[in-house]
Structure formats: structure tokens, C-alpha cells
């Protein structure tokens, strides 16, 4: 399906790029201005003034502040941003603690508060979690700790009794962007705190150099992209500014070290690289071991220390890939069997008692991509409880759907939380069939009988002139592209000149537009995950992205194939 383009005028732009922007409701050059002064001010965030007052008092009293993070890349970068930001404002006693996924689960639980209490903190600050931590907050306050929650996940009917909550998705919050990631929320709190301290003369009185918070935007960009939050205008400013710092070599040693282990240069890095190179290596620590390792990498000031930790993260990521590959194949076989039985439901719920709970989110994403349907994938935790991860499609709010299931079946879900496109949940093993039925029915009720899987949207055709290195380079620098501001995808009919298998899983082609002369390289990554043989036809209709392939110092255009249909 091709995107609808409205009449608009973007003077001075390449005409095809102008068409692409119009398809994303960009109709003026002002909407492409990603200067820092274009960021929304923090004043309208509910609770931000109270948060800065609490933090000012903590700084003044030299209080012990402890950040409680999350075990994904958003939580890791948010934790690093918080620790670095407060230290640069004069805090002397700042630390962090991340719940181990396999011991404590998600969020500020009573158990993790007990672990935190051994460090005797005065203030707990949650990042990328806390909005559902009713019991944990109460326990922390009973132990004499102040609690500041910074989160972006959707709240439930009951809010924790924290001293302060900052979350753009609180009911009645006036902040115009609801798409901030967890790292974006704590960054905004730091911006507001710096303004408060500046007005009080804090920095001059104490002889502290006022921090340049833009130096933290490389971390903000990584967390924002990795968490797959919508790249609305405000988030695009944050990501564009962070990428600019990385591309200029002004990034944290840990990010540079992660790129080095992946054999990637910081030059010309895009948002896609943050999502597919940096993010997965950070996430591997939280998925398989302990995210404290990932945070330590981001906080490291010593290049050698950062490189040592990054190498460990890279090995964990390789292990994650192997586990994921086996799980993906098993999930694919289950879905294929559902197809063969003619009973593929609108909502797909999968479980295998050998699956790894740290990988289920990746499998759910792939199942959603393959089927065009919302998916929930479960793994056992060893105590008769299943840990699940859900991924949704446009038009179905997965956290609200789970809330509806919990209302209809009060004893079914032990815990759940998330946002529109992703959520986590736990339930008892013996209730899986009941949940599967409830999930399938709830999805069917929302989507209706006329449901059709999501169509792949195209930005149209490219001519031979556009299928060159110049336009490919232009597309790379015209983002940041990402969630709900998608990287351009095109479609055309091609003649197949040559085809072969690469690395067992990938299909490599040399093709030529049916109406053109230029011969291009093209690759379909993971083609043989879903197909057993090469396409037998000499003519194919391809949906593709135009990218730059760099090999031995040579740069050439390459088509990244998203979909193949025989002509």
C-alpha cells in the first residue's frame, strides 16, 4: 500500500525527499529543525517543580541518592543519565541499583527495596519504572526513604504514594509529548533542576561549573531509539542531537567501546544503528545476566575499562542471538502449524517450557512482524509462574487490552504493565489456556471480523537517478527515522540478474528495475528463516529500503529488501 501524499511545498528539498516528508505530515522546513532550542520546555510536566525541590534539598543536605533502574536499554541509559547528571550538579553520594530480572522481576518491588535498604539511601529515584510499584513505594517510605518516581509507562487505576511522580502519561498531565522514553523523562527532570539551581545561585556559590546537559544526549538518543517509543518531533530533536554528538566523536567511552566491539565507526551513525547495534548489546546484559554491567559500561570514564565491559556485552549478545535463533525457529513452527490447521487467531499466544524469559520480547516482536497480529510469548520462571511479553500493532493498545482482561478475570493476571505497543505480564502456568482464550477473544473484539493484517506502506517508486549513492546518502542524514516516523520504504518491479545464499539465512540478489538500466545489489536478511528455497521467478516485486553498503572503503547503494512477491 502506498502512502497518501498531500499537496505541500518544501522549497529547496530533493523532490523525492519532499514527497517522503509529506507522507509523514511534514509540510514545512520548521518541522525539520532539530536545534536544541526546539525542545519542549519542562514546565508543563506534572510534578517537575516538586521533583526539583526534593532534589535541591537532597543536594543541600548531601543526602544519599539511589537510582532504581530497569533491565533494558532505556532503563540503563536513564540510570546513567541520572547518576551523571546529579554528580555534575554537585551530588557526592549517588549510586544505582537494578533489579535482577530472574530474582526480583520488574520495578520497585518490596524485595528490591529491602536490598536497597542495606545501602541506607535517603532518596530513591526510579527511572523507567515505578508507576505500578504500589507496595514497593509504601515499604520504602515506611523505612524512612523519600521516593521520586520518574516513568513513562501508563499508570493503572491506583497510583503509588510516592513523594513525587513525574510521568507525562499521568491523567491530566499537560506536557504536549506523551512519547518520552524513561531516559527522556529523567533528562527533563535534570533540565528543570539545573534551571532551579541556576536561579538560586547554587553553582556560583559552590564554585561548581554549571553542567552542559547536552553532553548526556548520546545516552538519551540510545535509550529513546532502543525503547521503540514514537519519534514525535520532540523525540526526534533529542535523538538528532544525540546522534550529532556521537558522529562528532563526543560520546561516552562506553558507547564508543560498544561500537568498536561491533566493528562499527561512530562516523555516519544513524538511529537504526543505535537500535540494531548499541541497544541489543546493552539489552543482552539485562536479558541474560544483570543490567548493572551495561550501566557500568555507560558510566565508565576509563577507555580501557569501557572496552573490557563492552567485550563482555558483545559475548553476551552473541549468546543471546543463539538462544533467540532457536526460540524463533520453534515459534515459527508453531505459527506454521496454526496456519496449516486453519486456526490462526487474531491474537497469537505462544509458550514453550524451554524458552528463556529474557528473550520472549524479541520473539513476540518477530511473531508480530511475520503475522501482522498482536502476539504474547511466555517462558517459565521455574516456580510455576510464566513471564510473558506482548507486542501489538497499530490500532490496538496492548496495555489497555490487558487491563480489560484483568477486569473481566480478576484472578488471572498476577502483574502487568506497559504502553500501547508493548507490555509485560505474569500469570500462573495452570491458567495459560484461560489467558490464551481471553486474549484471543479480546483482540477479536477490538479488531472486529473485518480485520486485515497490517499492510506494508510504501513511499512509492524510485527511478534510476534516485537509485544511486547520492540519494542513498541523503536518506541516511534526513532522519532520524524510527517508530511512527518510519525509514522510507519503496517498491518496484525488478528483473533478477543473479541470486545466491549468504550466511545460510540471507538472500543476495543483483537486480535491475524493469524500466531501468542500472544493476543494483540487494539483500533480504533472514529470508531463509521463512522460506526453504530461492524464488524461482526471474521477475520480482520488491519492497525495499535504499541504503549504503560500505566494503573495503568503497560505498555503493544497496537495496534492503523488506518483502518479495513474484510477478
Of 219 and 340, which is predicted with more confidence? 219
Decide if 162 contacts 149 (C-beta within 8 A). Answer: yes
Biggest alpha carbon distance in the chain?
A: 75
Average pLDDT over residues 546-553: 86
466, 400: one domain:
no
Averaged pLDDT score across all residues of the chain: 93
Q: What is the pLDDT of residue 5?
A: 46
Taking only the tens place, the pLDDT of each residue in 76-133 is 999 999 999 999 999 999 999 998 777 777 789 999 999 999 999 999 999 999 999 9
Give the residue from 376, 358, 270, 274 showing the smallest Cα distance to 321: 358
Are residues 111 and 153 both part of a single domain?
yes
What is the model's pLDDT at position 343?
Answer: 74
* Confidence check: pLDDT of 533 > 80: no
Could you tell me if 80 and 221 lie in one domain? Answer: yes
Q: Is the residue at 419 inside a domain? A: yes
If pLDDT is split at 50, 70 and 90, which confidence band does 1 have? low
Check residue 342 and give its pLDDT.
Answer: 75
- Based on the fold, state whether residues 438 and 512 are members of the same structural domain: no
| Mean predicted confidence (pLDDT) in 253-269 | 94
With a cut of 80, say whether residue 530 has pLDDT above it: no
Does residue 386 share a domain with residue 288? no
Q: Is residue 19 part of a domain?
A: no
On whether both 441 and 509 belong to a single domain, the answer is: no
Q: Has residue 327 been placed in a domain?
A: no
Give the model's confidence band at 7: pLDDT under 50 very low, under 70 low, under 90 confident, else very high. very low
| Gap between the Cα atoms of 535 and 539, Å rounded | 9
Using the 3D structure, point to which of 403, 426, 447 is the last residue of a domain.
447
Pick the closest to residue 218 from 192, 167, 257 (CA basis). Answer: 257
For residue 84, give the CATH number of its domain: 3.90.1640.30
Residue 64 has pLDDT above 70, yes or no: yes
Model pLDDT, residue 3: 57
Q: What percent of the chain has pLDDT over 70?
A: 98
Query: Dihedral of the CA atoms 343, 346, 347, 351 (nearest 10)?
Result: 20
Please give the residue range of the domain that contains residue 427.
Answer: 344-447
Are residues 431 and 508 both part of a single domain?
no
Indicate the Cα dihedral angle 411, 171, 152, 378, nearest 10°. 20
The last residue of one of the domains, among 447, 480, 503, is 447
Which has the minimum average pLDDT: 121-135, 340-354, 410-424, 522-536?
A: 522-536
Distances 132 to 15, 155, 224 between C-alpha atoms, Å: 48, 7, 21
Please say if the pLDDT value at position 459 is more than 80: yes
- Structurally, how many domains does the chain consist of? 3
pLDDT for residue 449: 72
Residue 11 within a domain? no
- Considering the domain architecture, whether residues 432 and 462 belong to the same structural domain is answered as no
Statement to judge: residues 441 and 472 lie in one domain: no
Amino acid at each position: 500500500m502506498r502512502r497518501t501524499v498531500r499537496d505541500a511545498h518544501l522549497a529547496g528539498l530533493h523532490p523525492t525527499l519532499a514527497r517522503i516528508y509529506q507522507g509523514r505530515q511534514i509540510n514545512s522546513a520548521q518541522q525539520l529543525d532539530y536545534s536544541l532550542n526546539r525542545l519542549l520546555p519542562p514546565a508543563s510536566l506534572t510534578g517537575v517543580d516538586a521533583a526539583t525541590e526534593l532534589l535541591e534539598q537532597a543536594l543541600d543536605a548531601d543526602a544519599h541518592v539511589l537510582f532504581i533502574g530497569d533491565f533494558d536499554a532505556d532503563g540503563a541509559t536513564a540510570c546513567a543519565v541520572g547518576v551523571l547528571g546529579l554528580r555534575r550538579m554537585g551530588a557526592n553520594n549517588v549510586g544505582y541499583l537494578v533489579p535482577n530480572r530472574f530474582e526480583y522481576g520488574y520495578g520497585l518491588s518490596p524485595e528490591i527495596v529491602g536490598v536497597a535498604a542495606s545501602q541506607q539511601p535517603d532518596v530513591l529515584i526510579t527511572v523507567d519504572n515505578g508507576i505500578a510499584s504500589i507496595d514497593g513505594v509504601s515499604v520504602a517510605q515506611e523505612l524512612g526513604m523519600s521516593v521520586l518516581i520518574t516513568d513513562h509507562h501508563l499508570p493503572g487505576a491506583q497510583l503509588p504514594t510516592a513523594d513525587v511522580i513525574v510521568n507525562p502519561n499521568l491523567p491530566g498531565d499537560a506536557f504536549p509529548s506523551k512519547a518520552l522514553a524513561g531516559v527522556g523523562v529523567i533528562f527533563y527532570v535534570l533540565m528543570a533542576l539545573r534551571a532551579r539551581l541556576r536561579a538560586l545561585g547554587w553553582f556560583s556559590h559552590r564554585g561548581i561549573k554549571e553542567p552542559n546537559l547536552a553532553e548526556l544526549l548520546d545516552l538519551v538518543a540510545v535509550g529513546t531509539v532502543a525503547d521503540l517509543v514514537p519519534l514525535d518531533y520532540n523525540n526526534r530533536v533529542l535523538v538528532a542531537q544525540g546522534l550529532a554528538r556521537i558522529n562528532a566523536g563526543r560520546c561516552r567511552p562506553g558507547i564508543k567501546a560498544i561500537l568498536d566491539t561491533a566493528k562499527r565507526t561512530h562516523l555516519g551513525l544513524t538511529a537504526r544503528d543505535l537500535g540494531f547495534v548499541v541497544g541489543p548489546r546493552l539489552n543482552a546484559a539485562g536479558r541474560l545476566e544483570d543490567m548493572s554491567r551495561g550501566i557500568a559500561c555507560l558510566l565508565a570514564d576509563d577507555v580501557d575499562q569501557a572496552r573490557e565491559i563492552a567485550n563482555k556485552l558483545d559475548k553476551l549478545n552473541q549468546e543471546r542471538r543463539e538462544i533467540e535463533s532457536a526460540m524463533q525457529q520453534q515459534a515459527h513452527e508453531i505459527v506454521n502449524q496454526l496456519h496449516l490447521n486453519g486456526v490462526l487467531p487474531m491474537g497469537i499466544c505462544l509458550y514453550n517450557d524451554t524458552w528463556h524469559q529474557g528473550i520472549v520480547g524479541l520473539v513476540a516482536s518477530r511473531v508480530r512482524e511475520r503475522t501482522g497480529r498482536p502476539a504474547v510469548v511466555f517462558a517459565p520462571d521455574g516456580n510455576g509462574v510464566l513471564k510473558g511479553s506482548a507486542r501489538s500493532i497499530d490500532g490496538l493498545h496492548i496495555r489497555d487490552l490487558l487491563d480489560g482482561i484483568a477486569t473481566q478475570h480478576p484472578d488471572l493476571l498476577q502483574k502487568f504493565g506497559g504502553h500501547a505497543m508493548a507490555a509485560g505480564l505474569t500469570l500462573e502456568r495452570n491458567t495459560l489456556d484461560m489467558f490464551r482464550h481471553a486474549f484471543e477473544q479480546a483482540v477479536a473484539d477490538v479488531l472486529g471480523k473485518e480485520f486485515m493484517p497490517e499492510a506494508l506502506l510504501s513511499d512509492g517508486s524510485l527511478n534510476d537517478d534516485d537509485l544511486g549513492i547520492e540519494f542513498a546518502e541523503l536518506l541516511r542524514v534526513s532522519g532520524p527515522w524510527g517508530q511512527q516516523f518510519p525509514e522510507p520504504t519503496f517498491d518496484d518491479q525488478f528483473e533478477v540478474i543473479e541470486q545466491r545464499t549468504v550466511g545460510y539465512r540471507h538472500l543476495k540478489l543483483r537486480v535491475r528495475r524493469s524500466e531501468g538500466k542500472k544493476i543494483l545489489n540487494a539483500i533480504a536478511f533472514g529470508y531463509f528463516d521463512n522460506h526453504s528455497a530461492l524464488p524461482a521467478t526471474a521477475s520480482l516485486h520488491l519492497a525495499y529500503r535504499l541504503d549504503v553498503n560500505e566494503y573495503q572503503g568503497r560505498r555503493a547503494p544497496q537495496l534492503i529488501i523488506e518483502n518479495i512477491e513474484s510477478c
